Structure 1
Amino acid sequence: MSEVSPLQPIPEPPAPRKNANSIELIAGSVGGASQVLTGQPLDTLKTRAQTAPKGQFKNTLDIFTTTVRNEGLLALYKGMLSPLLGIAAVNSLLFTAYGASRRIVSPYPDLSIAQVASAGAMAGAANAVLASPVEMFKIRMQGQYGGAGDKKLSGVVGDMWKQYGFKNGIMRGYWITFVREIPAYAGFYAGYETSKRWFAKHYYPNPVPVWATLTSGALGGVSYWLACYPLDVIKSRVQLSKTPPVQGHWLSGGYINQEFRVILQEGGVRALYRGLTPSLLRAVPAAGATFLAYEIAKEYIIDHNLL
């Protein structure tokens, strides 16, 4: 009669790495800056497609040619100063919140894709508090069409503060940003991790090549937009509006539901997807660069014991 082997003890979760949050802060900043520098022109086209009056442009190509002809090539970089100025805080918060959320979801590092999505959603919710004002100022800069009344970033910020204060000015669109970020970053991280793990298995025991990391990041970026795009259209319109949104009762969905109904009345379901093409095109290089820069920066810091 064979002897019954004792039950294997459950392994203790690994101790969290010292200065893990600091590493995420710095690597997230590097990744975020790469995203802005890579994707800003297509982001400008996306915002104008979402917010321009009906009939102003024929399609995305028309937005591009009209913008360059009337305002010059550098107009495609309008609003870049806002995310660049806030990128350290925004992306540091995002990646740090994601790292912390992973540890909340599970004490073990090997999360399922469902757990990754949950951690991404939690990180997105935390990220909204900084992403909302940064994106609002970017969008208001991109919504200027080269007229005499166009203002610099400082002027846009000053006007919003003087006219509407903190809640309806600086933080305009916070709740729709909060709602958007939850599915967006669930898709962002789940898409990235799914692709990254497939490549890791395919190339094991060799390291994943750079192009595979870029591809995984790109798929994460595409997943981000597919998970949240109608909400992003609502957000852009709310943040670019001349006046603050009317605050309806929360049981009726408030201003989010109101703007949703207005968009449907103007152009039907199709209007909720205006600008999707440049968003997906932008996602490929921008998200790919974000994750590649983040991974390289994080690996460099750890390998050289900088923190």
Structure 2
Amino acid sequence: MQNSPSIYPNSTKTISAILKETGLRGFMKGVLPPLLSISLYQAVCFASFQTSLRLFSGGAREEEATNAQLFAAGTASGFATVLVTTPTDLLKIRLQLREGSGGGKLRDMLHEASRVLAESGPRGFARGWEATALRDTWSTGLYFITYHTAKRHLYEAVGGEGGGSQAAVELTAGGLAGCVAWGACLPFDVLKTRVQGGAGGVGLGETLRTLVKEEGVGSLFSGAGPILSRAFLVNGITFWAYEEACRWIDRLRVR
């Protein structure tokens, strides 16, 4: 939808077109790069956030940190993840743009990686890093602020932590954080997709001017529905799993 809004104007038509062109296998195109890197991405994201927060807050706990400290630590975390997301998103997008139903297997990913190396050398994997940084830095700061703010208000609404409300609060707060962050940075995600999926040598500024001129400002929000739906589910589970991991580590320390 982000690369060809005239062909894929909405979710329903996109699903129909994919099924018609490539069948169910079409939904798996480009899935391998993010699937293989998701654990590394989450590890870098949360580890760099914790490290940065200790630096900016003087060792305060997440619950005690100010919004400014959360934002600064989140922004630093987002910048660190650019090293992971830029090459993996590049491969994902190139695989999704391939003709036919291929693009979901390891050999497809390796073939695409070899093409990047042949075309541009190792530097080719950094293509679109500026747009990725614009998308992931400040929005990750917003991500952590939203999560902790939502979690605090939700706990106040249900009468405090504990009981069966804990998982529900963390899932909901995480989902809201994902929606707010992705909603705010969506135009940069569209630009990143166009830069990484378009012809080589086209910069961010030129891509933006061409996009707005030819397709209008609304094109900067292409794919909002699927992205926000996914963001709520994925980030709700992500934060719940993160909190569970922290509690498990704390129990190990007590022993």
- Normalising by structure 1, we get a TM-score of 0.75
For the pair 1:193 / 2:148, whether they are aligned, the reply is yes
> What's the offset of the Cα at 1:144?
2.5
Q: Give the 3 Å change call, closer, same or farther, for CA 75–172 of structure 1 in structure 2.
A: same
* Count of residue correspondences: 248
Q: 1:143 to 1:306 in 2, by over 3 A?
A: farther
Matched, 1:57 2:11: no
Matches within 5 A, 1:154-193: 154-167=110-123, 169-193=124-148
Runs of 5+ unmatched residues, structure 1: 1-48, 246-254
Query: Is the CA contact (8 Å cut-off) linking 2:23 and 2:101 kept in structure 1?
Result: no
Listed as ranges, the matches of 1:108-257 within 5 Å are 108-109=60-61, 110-146=64-100, 152-167=108-123, 169-207=124-162, 208-245=165-202, 255-257=203-205
Q: Whole-Å Cα distance in 2 between the matches of residues 276 and 114 of structure 1? A: 28
Please, which of 35, 39, 47 is the counterpart of residue 84 of structure 1? 35
- Identify which of structures 1 and 2 has the higher relative contact order when contacts are C-alpha pairs closer than 8 Å and 6+ apart: 1
| Bigger radius of gyration | 1
CA deviation profile, 1:99-146 (whole Å, cap 9, x unmatched): 011112111221122321221111111211121111111121222342
Q: Does 1:276 align with 2:224?
A: yes
C-alpha distance 96-306 of structure 1, shift in aligned 2 (>3 A) = farther
Q: Secondary structure at the match of 2:244?
A: helix
Task: Measure how far apart 1:149 and its partner are.
Answer: 9.5
Q: Return the alpha-carbon distance in structure 1 between the equivalents of residues 219 and 25 of structure 2.
A: 28
Q: Could you tell me how far apart the structure 1 residues matched to 2:109 and 2:232 are? A: 28
Deviation, 1:299, is 1.8
CA distance in 2, matches of 1:115, 1:289: 24
2:220, 2:21 → 1: CA distance?
27
Inter-partner Cα distance in structure 2 for 1:306 and 1:134:
38
Counterpart of 1:18 in structure 2 is: none
Structure 2 unaligned regions, length at least 5: none
1:261 partner amino acid:
R
- 1:217-249, CA deviations, whole angstroms, 9 ceiling, x for partnerless residues? 11010111122111111100111113233xxxx
Which secondary structure does the structure 1 equivalent of 2:2 belong to? helix
1:197 Cα deviation (Å)?
1.1
1:101 lines up with 2:39 in the alignment:
no
Partner deviation per Cα, 1:196-232 (whole Å, 9 max, x = no partner):
1112333444424212111101101011112211111
Is residue 136–residue 239 contact of structure 1 (8 Å, CA) maintained in 2? yes
Q: Is the 8 A contact 1:172 1:244 kept in 2?
A: no
Deviations 1:73-108 (A, max 9, x none): 232232221012222322211111100111121112
**Conserved? CA contact 1:94–1:124, under 8 Å:** yes
Match of 1:267 in 2: 215
CA contact (8 A) 2:170 2:236 kept: yes
The SS at the match of 1:50 is coil
Structure 1 residues 144 and 117 mapped into 2: Cα distance closer, same or farther (>3 Å)? Answer: same
What is the TM-score with the length of structure 2 in the denominator?
0.89
- Superposed CA deviations along residues 16-48 of structure 1, whole A, max 9, x for unmatched, are xxxxxxxxxxxxxxxxxxxxxxxxxxxxxxxxx
SS of equivalent residue, structure 2 residue 7: coil
